[in-house]
Amino acid sequence: MNKVNFKKISHLFAQTYGGKRTLLLLPLIIGLSCNQANKSENVKTADESCSDNLPSRYGVSAQNKQDSLLSSNSNGSVKGMKWIPGGTFLMGASDKEGRADEYPSHQVKLDGYWMDETEVTNAQFAAFVKATGYKTVAERKPDWEEIKKQLPEGTPKPSDDLLVAASLTFNPPSRPVPLHDASQWWAWTPGADWKHPEGPKSDLKGKDNYPVTQVCWEDANAYAKWAGKRLPTEAEWEYAARGGQKNTIYPWGNEQIEGGKPKANTWQGSFPDKNTDWDGFHSLAPTGSFPANAYGLFDMAGNVWEWVSDWYTNDYYDTQKGETVTNPKGPDKSFDPDEPTVPKKVTRGGSFMCNSSYCKGYRVAARMKSSPDTGLQNTGFRCVRSESASKK
């Protein structure tokens, strides 16, 4: 399960042995969002976004021997969940603002399911950790023995101070910066993890009801298993976000995000240097701070990006067009032309960092992707449960 990103590791070591510690972060975040990472490959890819093309971790310690712990809470309760009735919908962008990977829109049929009303909170995740002793990927020290297997023979071991538990934190500049260079606002931060989402000095005091962040896909999936739930498919996520409306752009309909009253926790002003906080929240908001959509789901736009179960490919919708697809589960294998060597899972819904000037990740059809071992300060998740797995 430890997908190690080859190219980036090689860069890492090249940089390390180049002796410039300050360069270390660059290879890790060189492909970060708002960045057409591999322009030279001349592949038509998605437009830029605040959290696109994030780095893969460079190896984590052998894990998920913890699996046996992950089923203690599967009591079938649907407390805190909403029933999403099955049906058929048009998945993908029906407006003109989508990235290439949101087209073509295509007919999808889904069985009904239960979905968490809110993003999984710090308190909920803490209960899971307490019950299982689970250690998130960001808390694990990268394991040289694992990394080594995927590097050219004879690659020397980097110094121990480089192989430390870390995660990516949002570190906004004070001046406008080019939006194609996400290393300007993301920092690889030792000691950042779900309990210290903004770095080692931060904590969760008073934040029980905030969404958990700095959890990678593996962590989210582990939580879901423990809770007797699962991550939603990408189709389930989008269907739920649409709240039963047809061809709308946002979970609330078509009103512009900055028209009328604040409807979601996003970014207003100039990203990433100046946030006017018009919506009332500078960074994360407690879950449920904005009106729910028609299915009673909160924060399906903004606050944190949400992991779904599907692998990402840029052309998945092409393979689905023309017929009604029933309960699609995504492609078997990931492929992202922006970073062909890095397998990625899809995230949905946008975050507090999404801005109307360029990213619009809160559009209901918008797709983002990250490697399954990437934790971020603006990414969390929510779970679903199939009807058959529930006590009504």
- Which one of Cu ion, Ca ion, none is in contact with 281 (Cβ closer than 5 to 8 A by kind)? Ca ion
Q: How many CB atoms lie within 10 A of CB 153?
A: 5
Report in angstroms the alpha-carbon separations of 123 from 14, 120, 149, 380.
41, 8, 38, 13
| Binding of Ca ion by 320 (CB under 5 A) | no
| Binding status of residue 310 toward Ca ion by CB under 5 A | no
Pick the stretch among 118-126, 243-251, 254-262, 349-357 that binds Cu ion (CB under 5 A): 349-357
Nearer to Ca ion, 32 or 353 (CB): 353
| Minimum distance, C-beta of residue 117 to Ca ion, in the bound complex (Å) | 12
Nearest distance from residue 349's CB to Ca ion, in Å? 4
Decide which of Ca ion, Cu ion, none touches 136; Cβ closer than 5 to 8 Å per partner kind. none
Q: Which is nearer to Ca ion, 9 or 304 (CB)?
A: 304
Least Cβ distance, residue 88 to Ca ion (angstroms): 24
Q: Which residues of 350-376 are buried (b: 16+ CB within 10 A; e: fewer)?
A: bbbbbbeeebbbbbbbbbbbbbbbbbb
CB of 273 to Cu ion, least distance (A): 15
Strand, helix or coil for residue 269:
strand
Binding-residue pattern over the window 249 to 288 for Ca ion, x denoting contact by CB under 5 A: ----------------x-------------x-x-------
- In the complex, least distance from residue 132 CB atom to Ca ion, rounded to whole angstroms: 25
Q: Which 138-177 positions form the footprint of Cu ion (CB under 5 A)?
A: none
- Per partner kind, with CB cut-offs from 5 to 8 A, the member of Cu ion, Ca ion, none near residue 299 is Ca ion
Q: How many residues form the binding site for Ca ion (CB under 5 A)?
A: 7
> Mapping DSSP to helix (H, G, I), strand (E, B) and coil, where does residue 267 land?
strand
Q: Say if residues 147 and 239 touch (Cβ distance below 8 Å).
A: no
Nearest-approach distance from CB 52 to Cu ion, in angstroms:
8
Could you say which residues in the range 48-67 bind Cu ion, by CB under 5 A?
49-50
Closer to Ca ion by Cβ: residue 3 or 263: 263
SS3 373: coil
- Cα(236)–Cα(233) distance, integer angstroms: 5
User: Using a CB cutoff of 8 Å and minimum separation of 24, what contacts does 141-147 make?
Assistant: 141/60, 141/61, 141/165, 142/57, 142/58, 142/59, 142/60, 142/61, 143/2, 143/59, 143/60, 143/61, 143/62, 144/59, 146/2, 146/4, 146/59, 146/60, 146/61, 146/62, 147/4, 147/9, 147/58, 147/59
- Asked if 373 and 218 count as a contact pair (C-beta separation under 8 A), the reply is yes
**In angstroms, how far apart are the furthest CA atoms of the chain?**
61
- Closer of 5 and 309 to Ca ion (Cβ): 309
Q: Does 32 bind Cu ion (CB under 5 A)?
A: no
Length of the chain (residues)? 392
CB closer to Cu ion, 11 vs 263: 263
What does R_g of the chain's alpha carbons equal in angstroms? Answer: 20
Q: Using CB under 5 A, pick the residue from 59, 98, 349, 375 that binds Ca ion.
A: 349
Among the listed ranges 109-117, 240-248, 358-366, 384-392, the one in contact with Cu ion (CB under 5 A) is: 358-366
Residue 361 binding Cu ion, by CB under 5 A: yes
Residue 354 contacts which entry, Ca ion, Cu ion, none (Cβ below 5-8 A, type-dependent): Cu ion
What is the SS3 assignment for 265? strand
117: contact with Ca ion by CB under 5 A:
no
Which are the contacts of 376, defined by CB distance < 8 A and separation ≥ 6? 51, 54, 167, 168, 186, 213, 214, 305, 370
Count the site residues for Cu ion by CB under 5 A. 5
The residues that touch Ca ion, with contacts defined as CB under 5 A, are 265, 279, 281, 299, 303, 349, 352
Footprint on this chain of Cu ion (rule: CB under 5 A): 49-50, 354, 359, 361
